[in-house]
């Protein structure tokens, strides 16, 4: 009896569903399967990427090479870089909201467990802390270290000699007392990890590592390091030091532009940055106000855009 009643209920339900499907005016909606949801999400992502790339491709500017960022050419480099950044900002994309891969990446990097009593110091790697001689322009005995790493999806080990910027040990030792230190590089993780492991072998100083895949690529010409990828980070307490202005173009007032480093053993820029941070930043309420008062990057950009 129960079996028959159960069968009748199923038949009636089938009739009801068939009628609703035919009429097409039901208040009930078909719930998509998990596979269909994934497929729909992929379609949305593809549309969004196409829109993003279409808008980005409209940007017409010449990237100022970081080799032009040297002592004596600071003002020219800043001005010419900001002209390019003005063009990038015309696209008016909120990368964190509109770029799906970037949004997904944001969930990976939770900063909530770091020392809340410290400010945050985001450091570039190449030409800021070290220079890697991939082109083998210098003799092997001149390197500070030969780094070995195996690129992703390859079997063969690569060797590259590096030069380390003067003062890096004191820089890490002193500033780690007041800052959570992060490396944010546009290089690949396999190479970057090998370098960082050499610079901080005991993992005492560097609390987080971000790589090329965490950057926003602009026409394969340059990369943006949007600090908002670090979940829960307080931008009022965050500084980024980089030799490329494009890197911090989404948060200009958080940035400190350092001259590009190659092999100069008499370079003192890390000491200069350290003195600035210890003198002006560690006790301030909002690093952006101090930076803008001194470097005026946003103000210069505003003047460029108004012309």
Return the higher-pLDDT residue of 243 and 228: 243
Would you name the residues annotated as active-site residues?
124, 126
Task: Indicate the fold that domain 61-306 takes in CATH.
Answer: Rossmann fold (3.40.50)
Stretch (H or E) spanning 218: strand 216-218
CA 188 to chain centre: 12
Are 69 and 244 contacting, i.e. CB atoms less than 8 angstroms apart? yes
Asked if pLDDT for residue 262 goes beyond 80, the answer is: yes
What's the pLDDT score for residue 154? Answer: 86
Question: Using CA atoms, how far apart are residues 276 and 135, in angstroms rounded to an integer?
Answer: 34
Are 232 and 112 contacting, i.e. CB atoms less than 8 angstroms apart? yes
Q: Match 């990097």 to its residue by tokens.
A: 109
Domains of the chain: which residue ranges? 2-30, 61-306
Q: Each residue of 18-54: pLDDT tens digit?
A: 444 444 444 445 566 656 554 555 555 556 556 666 7
Q: What is the mean pLDDT of residues 143-170?
A: 96
* Mean pLDDT, the chain, whole residue set: 84
Question: Using CA atoms, how far apart are residues 219 and 212, in angstroms rounded to an integer?
Answer: 14
Tokens matching residue 78 = 């800043």
Tokens matching residue 42 = 């992929």
In this structure, of 37-41, 173-177, 210-214, the range with the lowest mean pLDDT score is 37-41
Structure confidence at residue 72 as a pLDDT band (50, 70, 90): very high
Structure confidence at residue 204 as a pLDDT band (50, 70, 90): very high
Return the higher-pLDDT residue of 220 and 290: 290
Asked if pLDDT for residue 238 goes beyond 80, the answer is: yes
In this structure, of 17-26, 113-122, 206-215, the range with the lowest mean pLDDT score is 17-26
């Amino acid at each position: 009896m129960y079996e028959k009643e159960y069968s009748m209920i199923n038949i009636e339900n089938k009739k009801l569903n068939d009628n609703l499907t035919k009429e097409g005016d039901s208040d009930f909606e078909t719930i998509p399967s998990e596979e269909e949801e994934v497929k729909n999400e992929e379609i949305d992502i593809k549309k969004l990427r196409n829109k993003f790339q279409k808008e980005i491709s409209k940007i017409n500017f010449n990237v100022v090479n970081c080799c032009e960022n040297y002592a004596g050419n600071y003002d020219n480099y800043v001005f010419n870089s900001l002209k390019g950044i003005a063009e990038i900002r015309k696209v008016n994309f909120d990368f964190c909201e509109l770029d799906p891969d970037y949004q997904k990446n944001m969930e990976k990097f939770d900063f909530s467990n770091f020392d809340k009593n410290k400010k945050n110091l985001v450091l570039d790697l190449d030409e800021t802390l070290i220079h890697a001689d991939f082109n083998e322009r210098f003799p092997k005995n001149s390197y500070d270290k030969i780094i070995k790493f195996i690129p992703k999806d390859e079997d063969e080990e690569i060797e590259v000699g590096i030069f380390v910027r003067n003062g890096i040990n004191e820089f890490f030792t002193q500033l780690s007392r007041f800052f959570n230190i992060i490396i944010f590089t546009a290089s690949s993780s396999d190479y970057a990890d090998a370098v960082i492991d050499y610079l901080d072998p005991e993992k005492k100083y560097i609390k987080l590592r971000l790589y090329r895949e965490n950057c926003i690529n602009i026409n394969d010409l340059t990369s943006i390091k949007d600090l908002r990828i670090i979940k829960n980070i307080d931008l009022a307490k965050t500084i980024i030091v980089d030799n490329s202005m494009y890197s911090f173009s989404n948060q200009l007032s958080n940035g400190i532009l350092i001259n590009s480093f190659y092999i100069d053993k008499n370079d003192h820029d890390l000491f200069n940055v350290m003195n600035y941070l210890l003198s002006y930043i560690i006790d301030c309420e909002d690093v952006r106000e101090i930076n803008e008062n001194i470097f005026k990057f946003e103000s210069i950009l505003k003047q460029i855009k108004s012309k």
